[in-house]
Structure 1
Amino acid sequence: MTDAVRTATRVVAAVIIPFLVVASVLLYLLPTTTGELFAWTIEPRLSAMFLGCAYIGGIWFFGRVLRARRWHHVKYGFPAVILFASLLGIATLLHWDRFHFGHISFITWTTLYLTTPFAVLAVTLRNWDADPATPDRGDFAIPLPARALLAVVGAASLVCGLTLFAVPTLATEAWAWSLTPLTARVVGAILTLPGAVNLFLLRDARWSAFRLIFQAQLVSLGFIVLALVIARADLVGPRPVVAALIVGLVGSLLAYVAFYAYCERRRAPSAVGE
């Protein structure tokens, strides 16, 4: 069927979700127990919670994939997942000595990040051309200035994330909280997520193509801001950096909420959606 989510894509989403749920609980709710329960020890807790926020957004995204009526509703989230998972797989190999060998969490982590990028890439390529590039009934065309602005923000986040991943020492002494080379690379991988999505706004104006993905980004951002409050004692970096991070994340959350509300108000009540 044209613009349908293939069964294999839903199966991959269904397999991934339980792992994201377990990781989210361990990292966000029990961030001080990674030494005993997780694949590697993550300190301080804000680093663990930050990664947990990415997984929480992933739960929302893959949950929507299971229910999506149209492939194009979730299409642009998959390249971001492929990039993120690939970077974490590379980080695992680069910092092999930091992991808890033999632990069930280590075995699960390693298996997932050495296989997930390929599995997600396979279903993405198989499903990619199913999108006929037509808008939903009652869809809203996002204005070019808004798309360009979000693409610029996304590009900045993508460049920052890739730079941090390639040269983690840039952040080990100048970040809002304490980072190791491994956690710096993890933070860099997380920062690529919005960039890998937002750049597609330059080629597609359909709000229906980004609505569900922006929901996942809003969920993730909301939990990140909450994490900053819960683990505020971990914000020991240079004051200007801490202030810039807080303003940037809170500002991004507010801007995304405003943008989402703006697009939703202009979406016709009869629009096909989730």
Structure 2
Amino acid sequence: MHARDDGEDPAPSTLQRTPSGYDRVFATTRWVAVAILPFLAIAAFLLFAFPTRTGELFAWPISPPLSAYLLASAYVGGIWFFLRVATARRWHHVKHGFPAVVVFAGALLLATLTHLDRFSSNLSFWTWIVLYATTPFVVAGLAVAQRREDPGTADAPDCRIPGPIRGALVAIGASAFAFGAAVFVAPGAATEFWAWQLTPLTAQVTGAVLSLTGVVNVALAWDTRWSAFRVLFQAQCLSLAAIVVSLIARRDDLLWERALTPLFVSLVGVAFVLYVAFTVWCERRTRMAG
């Protein structure tokens, strides 16, 4: 069966009767994305613009500002992703991002419940807790509801990602996820070696951020369509660009006496260059296929 691309969503009452595999993005999925976008935009703005006033304006006091910038950088990629979900014409263009959102939001919920005493008693905190108590479950429910919508067909034009490149990206993602999980599970140990000063809470937030690329990249193990990853790699490039700028802007927060610091900074720079080059290469191959 080939994907239908008429740009319209069926009415909610017809969803159960319409055959699956039409590559639709349900209206409910779009509206959830629209609802999430303002919160991501506001959070990113507050963290970037007022990193030293997070205790007053954000959900908890974050120090040093570089930790606030790292979380904001993840939100930058999230803004692009959910903007594309809200406007996507095909489900397979965005489907692989949903598990990453579930893992990220779920990890932040666990971190919040573990460190409730660190949070401020303000509107930002109550907004934070409501969002992270609901988002992992809502997004997971949408992914399950849409699971049969992808017919497995490629766009026209599209390009297939070669096996060796997919294997390398899966390995990179698995390494990032494993490292992020270790930081999340053992935040106390992470505070001793990380590239800048962390608390147990900001260590777990850092681990959650590192997990994102791992969950996204694992889907490359079975899906070879560039069209299924274009939006996600665009989002990752934006996040990496924001991290690079953050490391430059807050370079005084870095602890250069720690062995991990030059390694982390180098890896971020290399990852940014490689991800941008890979995205440009895939886009060029797609245009040539057309």
* Pair in the same fold by TM > 0.5: yes
Q: Is 1:122 aligned with 2:147?
A: no
SS at match of 1:43: coil
Name which of 165, 175, 194 aligns with 2:194.
Answer: 175
CA contact (8 A) 2:56 2:120 kept: no
Unmatched tracts of structure 2, length 5 or more: 5-21
- What corresponds to 2:100 in structure 1? 80
Inter-partner Cα distance in structure 1 for 2:144 and 2:249: 40
Q: Spell out the pairing of 1:228-243 with structure 2 (5 A cutoff).
A: 228-243=247-262
Residue identity matched to 2:35:
V
Inter-partner Cα distance in structure 2 for 1:50 and 1:260: 22
Name which of 17, 25, 29 aligns with 2:49.
Answer: 29
RMSD: 1.1
Q: Spell out the pairing of 1:45-60 with structure 2 (5 A cutoff).
A: 45-60=65-80
- What corresponds to 2:63 in structure 1? 43
- What corresponds to 2:234 in structure 1? 215
CA contact (8 A) 2:159 2:289 kept: no
CA contact (8 A) 1:88 1:113 kept: yes
- Greater Cα shift, 118-127 or 79-88: 118-127
- What corresponds to 1:4 in structure 2? 24
- What corresponds to 1:198 in structure 2? 217
Going from structure 1 to structure 2, the CA distance change for 1:232 and 1:155 (only over 3 Å counts) comes to: same
Q: Normalising by structure 2, report the TM-score.
A: 0.91
Q: Is 1:71 aligned with 2:112?
A: no
Post-superposition offset of 1:129: 1.5
Inter-partner Cα distance in structure 1 for 2:194 and 2:130: 30
Post-superposition offset of 1:239: 4.1
Deviation >2 Å, runs of 4+:
237-240, 268-271
Inter-partner Cα distance in structure 2 for 1:97 and 1:11: 33
CA contact (8 A) 1:155 1:195 kept: yes
Post-superposition offset of 1:49: 0.5
Post-superposition offset of 1:237: 4.9
Residues 185-243 of structure 1, C-alpha deviation per residue, up to 9 Å, x if partnerless?
A: 00000000000000100100000000011000000000000000000000025342111
Post-superposition offset of 1:171: 1.1
CA contact (8 A) 2:104 2:208 kept: yes
Q: Is 1:131 aligned with 2:131?
A: no
Inter-partner Cα distance in structure 2 for 1:166 and 1:3: 37
Inter-partner Cα distance in structure 2 for 1:211 and 1:106: 34
- What corresponds to 1:100 in structure 2? 120
SS at match of 1:129: coil
Inter-partner Cα distance in structure 2 for 1:152 and 1:270: 28
Residue identity matched to 1:127:
Q
Larger radius of gyration: 2
Residue identity matched to 2:23:
D
Unmatched tracts of structure 1, length 5 or more: none
Post-superposition offset of 1:268: 3.1
Residues 59-105 of structure 1, C-alpha deviation per residue, up to 9 Å, x if partnerless?
A: 0000011111110000000000000000000000000100112x000
Inter-partner Cα distance in structure 1 for 2:228 and 2:288: 17
Residues 96-144 of structure 1, C-alpha deviation per residue, up to 9 Å, x if partnerless?
A: 100112x000100000011111111111111121000111112100000
CA contact (8 A) 1:175 1:237 kept: no
Q: Is 1:113 aligned with 2:135?
A: no
Inter-partner Cα distance in structure 1 for 2:193 and 2:181: 16
Inter-partner Cα distance in structure 2 for 1:161 and 1:7: 34
